[in-house]
Amino acid sequence: MEISRLRALLLWIAVVLLLYAIRVDCFYLPGVAPADFRKKDPLQVKVNKLTSTKTQLPYSLPYCQPNTIVDSAENLGEVLRGDRMENSPYAFEMREPQMCRIVCRITLNDNDVKAIKEKIDDEYCVNMILDNLPLVVPIKRLDRDSPTVYQHGFYVGVKGQYNGSRDEKYFIHNHLSFLVKYHEDEQLDVSRIVGFEVKPFSVKHEYEGEWNGNTTRLSTCDPHAQRTVSNSDYPQEVEANKGIIFTYDVEFKESDVKWASRWDTYLLMADDQIHWFSIVNSLMIVLFLSGMVAMIMLRTLYRDISKYNQLETQEEAH
């Protein structure tokens, strides 16, 4: 009797511990512990695959690259989604705004121009990640009462026309205005990242004198004069043998959103585009597999019926 009571008590303790473990695990959704950052702590920005009806790595296009490309460790969920995360040349420091930082300058060849134009036609989006939080683009609807929705990643570029011309041109997004939202813990003097947004611009950067790398002073945006990019009135066209300068801004904004609720933003995604190719491909696979299963079942059923008929014929013969 005592042994039975002891077993029941141990079973009850095991159930309580299991429920507690599940509760703790749910707090760390989506599977990572919260990271605390102090002022000027380095923030690592990663890049992910381009997303559209097809997939392709960002570095297959002529984007700026770090000196050494390092693959990021991936969990099972990222592997199943086909994510391929790598480091990027974008360098942030916690709660340290930056203005008009030069990333690199590249010159496109004919193959690069063709590849970029194809990605713009297919509406490919560039995806970045900061503290395991995907980059989003805020989109305000015409109805002011409607909440702001968010697009996952930013488009490689856009198509448009110059004033007075009917020729369609391709323009690349080469300036990124980042907004990092954080929730501050005043008692511990640490911050947690709760939002990662961007506004992409296409800007034809200009500078005077010779090119001196990242220290070159641009005339289109200048941190010394507190002048940054706010529109795409003079966009950067995708042309061969022409230099493209990539730049970015970083702004930090305190938010009331807590770390445990930072994923609520992604419930208001504006990605309502239907990938018809994927849907048709999935339907074809389902129909093909269903046909194979149906043929196997029919052959098995036909064989069983034939054996049954043979047995009846033998019984009638006797």
**86 and 47 Cβ atoms separated by less than 8 Å:** yes
Query: Is omega for the bond preceding 42 within 30 degrees of 0, making it cis?
Result: no
Q: Say if residue 261 is in the same domain as residue 309.
A: no
Q: Say if residue 191 is in the same domain as residue 156.
A: yes
- The upper half-sphere exposure of residue 58, i.e. CA atoms within 13 Å in the direction of its Cβ, equals 26
Contacts of residue 185, Cβ cutoff 8 Å, sequence gap at least 6 = 36, 191, 192
pLDDT per residue as tens digits for the range 50-70: 887 555 556 578 899 998 888
Asked if residue 49 is part of any domain, the answer here is: yes
Asked if residue 2 is part of any domain, the answer here is: no
Indicate the number of domains in the chain. Answer: 2
pLDDT per residue as tens digits for the range 21-33: 444 433 444 446 7
Asked if residue 1 is part of any domain, the answer here is: no
Contacts of residue 7, Cβ cutoff 8 Å, sequence gap at least 6 = none
Asked if residue 13 is part of any domain, the answer here is: no
Q: Can you tell me the distance from the alpha carbon of 159 to that of 318, in angstroms, rounded to the nearest whole number?
A: 85
From residue 257, alpha-carbon distances to 123, 197, 270 in Å are 31, 14, 21
Q: Say if residue 264 is in the same domain as residue 279.
A: no
Q: Say if residue 240 is in the same domain as residue 281.
A: no
What DSSP designation does 32 have?
A: -
Q: Say if residue 318 is in the same domain as residue 183.
A: no
The mean of the pLDDT values for the chain is: 82
Asked if residue 185 is part of any domain, the answer here is: yes
Q: Say if residue 313 is in the same domain as residue 172.
A: no
Q: Say if residue 173 is in the same domain as residue 234.
A: yes
Helix and strand numbers, DSSP H then E, in the chain: 4, 16
| Cross-strand bridge partners of residue 222 | 227
Least confident of 9-23, 97-111, 142-156, 195-209: 9-23
DSSP assignment of 208-233 equals SSS--GGGPPBSS-BTTTTB-----S
Q: Say if residue 210 is in the same domain as residue 284.
A: no
Asked if residue 173 is part of any domain, the answer here is: yes
DSSP assignment of 235-296 equals --B--TT-EEEEEEEEEEEE-S--GGGGGGGGGGB------HHHHHHHHHHHHHHHHHHHHH
Asked if residue 231 is part of any domain, the answer here is: yes
Task: Give the model's pLDDT for residue 213.
Answer: 86
First-to-final CA distance of the chain: 67
Least confident of 145-149, 186-190, 236-240, 313-317: 313-317
**139 and 151 Cβ atoms separated by less than 8 Å:** yes
Full-prediction pTM beyond 0.85? no
Asked if residue 20 is part of any domain, the answer here is: no
Q: Say if residue 253 is in the same domain as residue 290.
A: no
Q: Say if residue 175 is in the same domain as residue 123.
A: yes
Backbone dihedral angles phi then psi of residue 255, each to the nearest 5 degrees: -130, 150
Q: Say if residue 64 is in the same domain as residue 166.
A: yes
Q: Say if residue 233 is in the same domain as residue 287.
A: no
Q: Final residue of a domain: which of 236, 253, 273?
A: 273
**Residue range(s) defining the domain that contains residue 317:** 275-318
Does residue 237 or residue 77 have the better pLDDT? Answer: 237
